[in-house]
Structure 1
Amino acid sequence: MNSIFFLVMRRMRAPLLALIFTYSVAVLGLVLIPGQDAEGNLWHMDFFHAFYFVSFMASTIGFGEIPYEFTDAQRLWVTFAIFFTVIVWLYSIGTLLTLFQDATFHQALIERRFARRIRQMRESFYLVCGYGETGSALIKALTERNQQAVAIDIRQERVNLLALENLRQYVPALCGDARLPLHLTEAGLDHPLCSGVVAITNSNEANLKIAITAKLLHPDITVICRADSHDIEANMASFGTDSIIDPFDTFAVHFATALQSPALNLLQEWLTSVADAPLGEPIYPPRHGLWVVCGYGRFGRAVFDQLRKEGMEVVVIEATPKKTGEPPKPFVIGRGTEEETLRAAEIERAVGIVAGTDNDANNLSIIMTARALNSDLFVILRQNRKDNEALIKAVKADMVMHSSAIIANRIRVLLGTPLLYEFVQLVLYEEDSWACELVSRISALVQHRVPDVWELAINQEQAYAVELALREHQRVNLAEIMRDPGKREQRLRCIPLLLIRNDQRIMLPAESQRLEPGDRLLFCGSGGAHDRMEWTLQNEHALSYVRVGEAPLQGWLWRWIRNRREV
């Protein structure tokens, strides 16, 4: 509000001074010029009546001569005053209209309305800095889970695009520089209901500044950042950033999992996919033979390192080794789009190719040329722009690395189901046979669509009925809350994945597992199972029915009828 006030006063200073000066001169002239009353006596107008007369004269409302008819001298002065006061009014009004059209003033008004709307929020929300491809996918995922979000982006066209999105909930958005503490504060950084800050701009330096600002101004808040530089990651970590996501390293780990344990990789893909997506098929990257990596930038280097760790033979093709750093030998200088370059890298005997440049057209050309020389290649394709989705699908690569999708999906899991992120980390230590068995169980439950994943805590908010029963020293086990509250003989189509009790983590807990207050559970299964389980968790009569086969009667009338029947 102060910035708007000072902006108005600065722009209107000259017009206001001109108005004050012209009014003063006009009033002073009427006071000094003598007039005549009805008897012909001389008189002088006082300052009050002079100011009153000039006020409606200068606004051209129309007037009468007060308190007596004017003399010629007074009328001459009034004629002069009319012209210069009207001119000054036109100047002042023109300046005011120009101010209303000024971009700075308009932005100040928008920021004031935005800040007021954020102060009035009554539900927890996440502050998303950057509304590009990643931010768009993340906000859509958050709103579909009925989680509130606030967006800030430095480009107005992106903010305008957000207003046109068909989202489940309204998302307040501000066009501003998230590196500035003022804009972060306006967007709700210091709001008591701000649950976390997500910095996913396309600038490492901007994300670092956002992380630093968030941790300094709100030390207890959760901060998640995107970074594709190890130096920036280390800097972010030194300020206590909770989660740092590097899309290239993330994909490299995903690729390594696919190499070592296809079933584990498939399990992770199913559990972390967006709701209602079709079940994917397992992939089997070749574990022996020559790989050709085209592009030795951040992505190419990450995949190269993983292939070398697996003991693979790797040849790199890079057009600008001085810029990216010289790859380990053997390497070939070129883009990989030329047949000669690929032949020099021995593409004919290769088992896999990585098209990892930062240009989608070049990546597609690399794949088409390579397949013409060797049709049996396992293809990994880097997608740089979302609007090339149709072309990427047409080429039918075995694996696609899209940075924005990887980051949005990872953050969605972190914010929506943090237990799932913990479970995914734990399954990396399991055998492939363990994952294969779990994949089979999930497939039998959900058929053609990925399972719903949900988590719950045994407390009054999320499991009122269970928590009440435990406080009354009743025994409740996992199998009982997994029964259908409409027909207790039927089991809900879900699988318990993880139980966390204090510092203990139990993978795939047994259905006989006894529940305790404070337990946190992770499930996967059909969406209907989730809804019906919630009914059991919250309703004490539904819980009693699934446990003992009957619900207690409510009210004195039903209890009196039951007692009469027993008699």
Structure 2
Amino acid sequence: MNTIIFIFFRRLRQPLLTLVIAYSIAVLGLVLIPGQDGDGNIWHMDFFHAFYFVSYMATTIGFGEIPYAFTDAQRIWVLFSIYATVIGWLYAIGTLLTLVQDKSFQEAITERRFAHRIKQLKEPFYIVCGYGETGEALVSVLTERNQNVVVIDSNPNINNILQMANLRQYVPGLHGDASRPIHLLEAGLEHPLCQGVIAVTNDNEVNLQVAVTSKLLHPDIKVICRADSHEVEDNMSSFGTDYIIDPFDTFAIHLATVIQSPALYLLNQWLTGVRYQSLCHPVYPPQTGFWIVCGYGRFGKTVYQQLRDNGIKPIIIEATPEKTGLTEAGIADDDWILGWGTDAATLEKAGIKDAVGLIAGTDNDSNNLSIIMTAKELNPDLFVVARNNLADNERLFEAIDAEIVMHPSSIIANKIRVLLATPLLYAFMSLAAKQSNKWASEMVGRVSMVVKEQVPEIWELDINDEQAYAVNIAIENGVQVTLGNLLADSRQRE
């Protein structure tokens, strides 16, 4: 409200001063100019009657001469006052109309209404900072699970975008810089029902500032941040950020999993899939032979290291080695080729006909598609891993029929969804990673016996007085309650 008042008086200061001066001069003139009463005696109007007369004269230009008929001198002065005050009012009204149409004033009012609406929330909610591809996917999956969301984004059209989005619930949005504490506070950071803050902007510094602000102003809430560099991750960790997600590191771990234990990778895809998603088929990447990695950026570095750690020899194709740090990475000259990988000559120089796997991992979707198409013409038996940067190109990557498609935004949104909706599932998969491929195969078999064509529906149940009173009392009394007891049909008591 202070911002609105400040803008109002700053813009209307000159018009208001003009009106005050015009009124003051008009009133003073009527007080000083002598008039005549009904008996012809000299009479001076007092300040009260003068102000009363000027007030309705200036706004209506329709009046009676009170308390006595005016003299010619008074009428001349009134004539001057009419033009002065009417012009002053026109100036003030014109400025007011301009102010109402001013974008900064409209944003201040919208921001005030937004803050008031957030204060009135009666259900738990999450604050999502950034509504790009990652934020959009995340908000969609959260609202599908009936979880309330508040969005902060730098796009001035964020409210229109949210209104046009096919979301299950109403999502309030604020146009603002999420790194500013005032905007986080307006979004409900200190609200008692705020469950967590999720920073998924495309700026590491903004995400870091959100993490710092959230942990300092509301230490008890859950904070999840996206980070694309290990230095920023370390900084976030120092402030107690609960979860830090690097999409490239996450996918590199997935790639290592599918190489080491295809069944565990399949189990992870099934259990963490989005509701109503079709079951994906198992993939079996080659574990011998060499791979070609196109692009040595953030994504290329992580998958290159994972391939090396799994005993696979990768050959790198990179067009800008100085920019990506390839020349300083200590990689032998025989292990990398200068070029884009979109032309057959570069791929043949890298040994594409003898390669068993290809990773198209540049930050340009057109280049990645071109790399895959050219490579498949030279070696149709390649195991292909593609990086899909933009969601709009998803259909293109489906058409190119790559074995694994990595979409950074989807990886982040899906992992955050699991952390918020089913945190025990995240813990389960962390423990499952330590099991053998045989164990994972058995689990896949058990799941496939329960589900048909879609991923299983997964939820969590709290054993407490509200959700499971009898079970909770039994546990408190020392009774051992097993998972089999919880899954038993209550109608079959034998």
CA distance, structure 2, for counterparts of residue 322 and residue 408 of structure 1: 32
Given residue 343 of structure 1, which amino acid in structure 2 is its aligned partner? E
Instruction: Report if the CA contact (8 A) 2:156-2:175 is conserved.
Output: yes
Q: CA deviation at 1:452?
A: 0.9
CA distance, structure 1, for counterparts of residue 70 and residue 64 of structure 2: 10
Instruction: Report if the CA contact (8 A) 1:293-1:317 is conserved.
Output: yes
**Alpha carbons of 1:473 and 1:248: their partners in 2 closer, same or farther (altered >3 Å)?**
closer
1:332-411 → structure 2 map (5 Å cutoff): 332-411=337-416
Q: Could you list the per-position Cα deviations for residues 399-441 of structure 1 after superposition, in whole angstroms to 9, with x for gaps in the alignment?
A: 0110000000000000110000000100001111111111111
1:199 aligns with 2:194: no
Given residue 150 of structure 1, which amino acid in structure 2 is its aligned partner? V
CA distance, structure 2, for counterparts of residue 334 and residue 66 of structure 1: 93
Aligned to 2:273: 273
Q: Could you list the per-position Cα deviations for residues 342-386 of structure 1 after superposition, in whole angstroms to 9, with x for gaps in the alignment?
A: 011010100010000000000000000001100000000000000
CA distance, structure 2, for counterparts of residue 15 and residue 36 of structure 1: 35
Aligned to 2:102: 102
Q: CA deviation at 1:444?
A: 0.7
Q: CA deviation at 1:483?
A: 2.9
1:49-128 → structure 2 map (5 Å cutoff): 49-128=49-128
CA distance, structure 1, for counterparts of residue 466 and residue 342 of structure 2: 58
Instruction: Report if the CA contact (8 A) 1:57-1:82 is conserved.
Output: yes
Secondary structure, counterpart of 2:459 in structure 1: strand
Greater shift, 261-270 or 323-332, is seen at 323-332
Given residue 234 of structure 1, which amino acid in structure 2 is its aligned partner? D
1:68-467 → structure 2 map (5 Å cutoff): 68-326=68-326, 328-329=331-332, 330-467=335-472
Q: How many corresponding residue pairs?
A: 489
Aligned to 1:22: 22
CA distance, structure 2, for counterparts of residue 71 and residue 158 of structure 1: 63
**Alpha carbons of 1:295 and 1:6: their partners in 2 closer, same or farther (altered >3 Å)?**
same
Q: Could you list the per-position Cα deviations for residues 282-306 of structure 1 after superposition, in whole angstroms to 9, with x for gaps in the alignment?
A: 1111100110000000001111101
CA distance, structure 2, for counterparts of residue 225 and residue 285 of structure 1: 31
**Alpha carbons of 1:338 and 1:158: their partners in 2 closer, same or farther (altered >3 Å)?**
farther
Q: CA deviation at 1:38?
A: 2.0
**Alpha carbons of 1:284 and 1:475: their partners in 2 closer, same or farther (altered >3 Å)?**
closer
**Alpha carbons of 1:475 and 1:219: their partners in 2 closer, same or farther (altered >3 Å)?**
closer
Given residue 348 of structure 1, which amino acid in structure 2 is its aligned partner? K
Q: CA deviation at 1:42?
A: 1.6
Instruction: Report if the CA contact (8 A) 1:58-1:86 is conserved.
Output: yes
Aligned to 1:512: none
Secondary structure, counterpart of 1:40 in structure 2: coil
Instruction: Report if the CA contact (8 A) 1:153-1:159 is conserved.
Output: no
Given residue 50 of structure 2, which amino acid in structure 1 is its aligned partner? A
More strand by share: 1
Secondary structure, counterpart of 1:225 in structure 2: strand
CA distance, structure 1, for counterparts of residue 425 and residue 402 of structure 2: 28
Given residue 354 of structure 1, which amino acid in structure 2 is its aligned partner? I
- More relative contact order, 1 or 2 (CA 8 Å, 6+ apart): 2
Aligned to 1:519: none
When normalised by structure 2's length, the TM-score is 0.97
CA distance, structure 2, for counterparts of residue 415 and residue 30 of structure 1: 73
Q: Could you list the per-position Cα deviations for residues 503-542 of structure 1 after superposition, in whole angstroms to 9, with x for gaps in the alignment?
A: xxxxxxxxxxxxxxxxxxxxxxxxxxxxxxxxxxxxxxxx
CA distance, structure 2, for counterparts of residue 472 and residue 353 of structure 1: 59
Secondary structure, counterpart of 1:126 in structure 2: strand
CA distance, structure 2, for counterparts of residue 229 and residue 470 of structure 1: 46
Aligned to 1:555: none
Secondary structure, counterpart of 1:12 in structure 2: helix
Q: CA deviation at 1:464?
A: 2.6
Instruction: Report if the CA contact (8 A) 1:287-1:312 is conserved.
Output: yes
Given residue 417 of structure 2, which amino acid in structure 1 is its aligned partner? R
Q: CA deviation at 1:465?
A: 3.6
CA distance, structure 1, for counterparts of residue 444 and residue 351 of structure 2: 38
Q: CA deviation at 1:478?
A: 3.0
Instruction: Report if the CA contact (8 A) 1:132-1:158 is conserved.
Output: no
What is the identity percentage for the equivalent residue pairs of Structure 1 and Structure 2?
62
**Alpha carbons of 1:323 and 1:477: their partners in 2 closer, same or farther (altered >3 Å)?**
closer
CA distance, structure 1, for counterparts of residue 321 and residue 76 of structure 2: 86
**Alpha carbons of 1:249 and 1:470: their partners in 2 closer, same or farther (altered >3 Å)?**
closer
**Alpha carbons of 1:476 and 1:343: their partners in 2 closer, same or farther (altered >3 Å)?**
closer
Given residue 5 of structure 2, which amino acid in structure 1 is its aligned partner? F
Q: Could you list the per-position Cα deviations for residues 15-61 of structure 1 after superposition, in whole angstroms to 9, with x for gaps in the alignment?
A: 11111111010011111111112222221111111110000100125
CA distance, structure 1, for counterparts of residue 441 and residue 104 of structure 2: 60
CA distance, structure 1, for counterparts of residue 158 and residue 393 of structure 2: 19
CA distance, structure 2, for counterparts of residue 76 and residue 92 of structure 1: 25
When normalised by structure 1's length, the TM-score is 0.84
Given residue 123 of structure 2, which amino acid in structure 1 is its aligned partner? E
**Alpha carbons of 1:472 and 1:257: their partners in 2 closer, same or farther (altered >3 Å)?**
closer
Secondary structure, counterpart of 2:353 in structure 1: helix
Secondary structure, counterpart of 1:259 in structure 2: helix
Gaps of 5+ in 1: 490-546, 549-567
